[in-house]
Amino acid sequence: MTTRSGRKTSGSLAVKELSKETWNDFEAVMGTNGGARGCWCMHWRLSTSEWMEGKGDGNKKTMKRLSQRDPAPGVVVYRDDEPVAWCSLGSRDQFPRLERSPLLSELDDKPVCSIACIYVQKEHRGDGLLSDILDAVCKHAASQGYKIAEGYPIEPGKGKRAGADTAMTGIASAFLDAGFSEVARPRGDRPIMRRELRAKK
């Protein structure tokens, strides 16, 4: 498979929902810091004060509780059975902080699968996996009945790199490579992007 930009993809990836069985793999991807600054991917699920209070072990415990519920809070992404990334996804109402965001406010009443966070394990950054991860995640979302995937990536200025805190939502060029289109741009560096999904027949 070749992306729109002509880059060859890195091959087939598999996704598994976060659960008791995949928790250790999730931990392996997130590392000892739990992603960026002890987040454990609770940024969009908690208020700022709740997030700060739980920073580190508290956020980790909250995510572990969510991992035992239905729907799962996201998926672990594997390459050759090795966990390489994490993606937090689900309906927008699963992310209260996203719902309250004046920057990333709801565009319309269409139900979407929000791709709220993408975290690639440190050892695999630079492998060109991000667009492949998005493609695999979209296929999973389609299998769960979603018709539209929505992302909130950052688009760094020319010659600039996104920091860990802003890159957590993904990079716009990777979304384009994965078949997303820009539908809004509430700020110069912050497009909102969507991809229509089709379930496998």
Domain ranges of the chain: 14-196
pLDDT at residue number 123: 87
Give the dihedral sign, CA 75/156/34/99: negative
> For 60-86, how does the pLDDT look when each residue is reduced to its tens digit (9 = 90+)?
999 999 999 999 999 999 999 999 999
| Average pLDDT along the chain | 90
pLDDT at residue number 4: 40
Region for residue 149 given its phi and psi (left: phi exceeds 0; alpha: psi -120 to 50; beta: otherwise): beta
Distance CA 130, CA 137 (A): 10
> CATH for 14-196?
3.40.630.30
User: What are the backbone dihedrals phi and psi of residue 48, each rounded to the nearest 5 degrees, phi first?
Assistant: -60, -45
- Asked if 198 and 149 count as a contact pair (C-beta separation under 8 A), the reply is no
> For 112-124, how does the pLDDT look when each residue is reduced to its tens digit (9 = 90+)?
999 999 999 988 8
Q: pTM of the prediction?
A: 0.90
Distance CA 60, CA 15 (A): 21
> For 129-167, how does the pLDDT look when each residue is reduced to its tens digit (9 = 90+)?
999 999 999 999 999 999 999 999 999 876 566 655 568
pLDDT at residue number 127: 82
pLDDT at residue number 166: 62
Q: In what order do the strands lie in the sheet with 113-120?
A: 14-17, 74-79, 82-91, 113-120, 148-151, 190-196, 181-187
pLDDT at residue number 164: 55
Residue 8 has pLDDT above 60, yes or no: no
Residues 37-59, mean pLDDT to the nearest whole number:
96
- Asked if 179 and 138 count as a contact pair (C-beta separation under 8 A), the reply is yes
Residues 163-187, mean pLDDT to the nearest whole number:
89
What pLDDT band is residue 105 in, cutting at 50, 70 and 90?
A: very high
Q: Which stretches of the chain are assigned E, i.e. beta strand?
A: 14-17, 74-79, 82-91, 113-120, 148-151, 181-187, 190-196
